[in-house]
Structure 1
Amino acid sequence: MNWASLLGGFDPLTFAAALTLVFGASLVRGLTGFGLAIILVPLLGLIVPPTDAVVISILLQLLAGPIGLKQILANGERSTAFPIAAAAMLATPPGVWLLSVTPPDVARLAIALIALAAFGMLFVPAKAGAVPGRKESVATGIAAGLLTGFASMPGPPVIPFYMRRRLPPAIARASMLMVFFATAIAGSIAAFAMGVADLHLLWVSLLFYPALYIGTRLGELAFGRVSEPVWRTLVGIILGVAGVAAIMRLFN
């Protein structure tokens, strides 16, 4: 058995680059509560077909879900996270189907634009003191589910939902992670059921797990040491840089 077989079809240098991407995206996820897919999918999609990049990201989100889950469930805003998660899980399969019938170049462009849109949504003003109702939660969940299936990116609707309300970082972060774990479960089931995912991509995702775990844990440690203004600034910077980088790499 050669190195390419052991490394899921990657040559050692490409595998090392992909592993670095996973570690960096996981570090951001541990710190902010999001970022794994927004960072990983556009960049990993330059190494592997975009469909494979989406599936790998969904499977990594699934593997990352149990990390720190007890604290996430304790801190999350269940009144909104549960309805969003339920709607998102129902809407994920249509998103997977859409990905399966979209040409690769169109998928790359759409994924890059989605990453950029997540940054812009942070600047849409929220109503002062308003608590989102059930309709807004469900609409957010449907959008998150469709984007999970198509791009493994539930973040663009979910991140502004919580960030614009100025919730304490611990609550916002935990709520987002609750939703993302739910969409990862639905996305993984749908991807295998529709034949988009296979055992090869599962093996690749498992190879990336050590980097995923270490990056997530280090991000969690950093989260406890970062003040709220710094944390919110980092959220905006990460979203902006990820979106711009995705567009620049796409056209270069």
Structure 2
Amino acid sequence: MAALICGIAGVVRGFSGFGSAMVQMPALTPLVGPSVAAAIAVMFEVMASIQSVPGAFRQANWRAILPMAAAALIGIPVGTVFLVSIDPVIVQRTIAIAILISVLIIASGFRYSGQPNRATSLGTGLVSGFLTGIGGIGGPPVVIYFFSGSNKASINRASLIAYFGLTQAVTVVAYWLRDLLSVEVLGLGLSLIPVFYLGLLLGSWLFARVNEHLFRRLILGFLALVAVMGLVI
């Protein structure tokens, strides 16, 4: 079951770019617990983005990224503390609610209408960092924020990759310090990487051949279903 979940997460990541944790956290948590599910999600995200980070660093909008990353440095450790100290059922429900809200916002087509500034960048980074620390699901606030501006799509994409590269590195350190990346967890994550990677390849293949809008709606519907299951299971 864990392998199937990770494979589906890879397909979602490869096709849509949504963080694989949005699938893995609510689906894997009942099987292995939130802390192990979060650690595996972070491992997968690092693997999925490591090849694209160097090129993205050259194109990224660092003026927007740096305040967000600075705030995320605070949010990630706080989220990690919640992950390891709060009742796992509460963590599971919190993550499911956050994913469900993110799916509804993305599906509605909402765009932030204000002008990006330091205050909104710091706020977005803080929320994203907390969600990253508690379950690796810090992507939606940043995606919505970046794509509300007037920058080219290529710059936004590079900025997202660079931001997530930085925050994932910080999350790995935070998880390591909290003993979330034990030998057993690393072994489990490594054993599941091949099926996740196959999912990534399949997702990328589908992106080039399937109607994007239809498949994206199906993915959003699937993510909403997974989040609801995380609330009731």
Which TM-score tier does this pair reach, normalised by the shorter chain?
0.7 to 0.9
Larger CA deviation: 169-178 vs 107-116: 169-178
1:126 counterpart residue number:
112
> How far apart, CA to CA, are the structure 2 residues paired with 1:232 and 1:72?
26
2:168 counterpart residue number:
184
1:56 counterpart residue number:
40
Change (3 A) 1:106 1:249: closer
Report the secondary structure of 2:13's partner residue: helix
Query: Cα distance, 1:240 vs. partner?
Result: 4.3
2:224 counterpart residue number:
243
Contact 1:33 1:173 in 2 (8 A): no
Q: How does 1:28-39 map to 2 (within 5 A)?
A: 28-39=12-23
The residue type paired with residue 63 of structure 1 is M
Change (3 A) 1:67 1:222: farther
Change (3 A) 1:112 1:202: same
1:201 counterpart residue number:
185
- RMSD of equivalent CA atoms: 2.7
2:129 counterpart residue number:
145
The residue type paired with residue 126 of structure 1 is Y
- Show structure 1 runs of 5+ residues with no match: 1-16
Report the secondary structure of 1:46's partner residue: helix
Q: Deviations over 1:125-159 (max 9, x none)?
A: 432xx541122112111111111111211123122
Contact 1:95 1:146 in 2 (8 A): yes
Equivalent of 1:43, from 27, 31, 45? Answer: 27
Change (3 A) 1:57 1:235: same
The residue type paired with residue 238 of structure 1 is I
- Show structure 2 runs of 5+ residues with no match: none
Q: Deviations over 1:5-61 (max 9, x none)?
A: xxxxxxxxxxxx212221221222222222301111110112111221112112222
Identity within the alignment, % = 27
Equivalent of 2:53, from 64, 69, 87? Answer: 69
> How far apart, CA to CA, are the structure 1 residues paired with 2:199 and 2:111?
32
Change (3 A) 1:159 1:241: farther
> How far apart, CA to CA, are the structure 2 residues paired with 1:131 and 1:77?
15
> How far apart, CA to CA, are the structure 2 residues paired with 1:251 and 1:188?
30
Contact 1:85 1:178 in 2 (8 A): no
Query: Cα distance, 1:211 vs. partner?
Result: 2.4
Change (3 A) 1:139 1:72: same
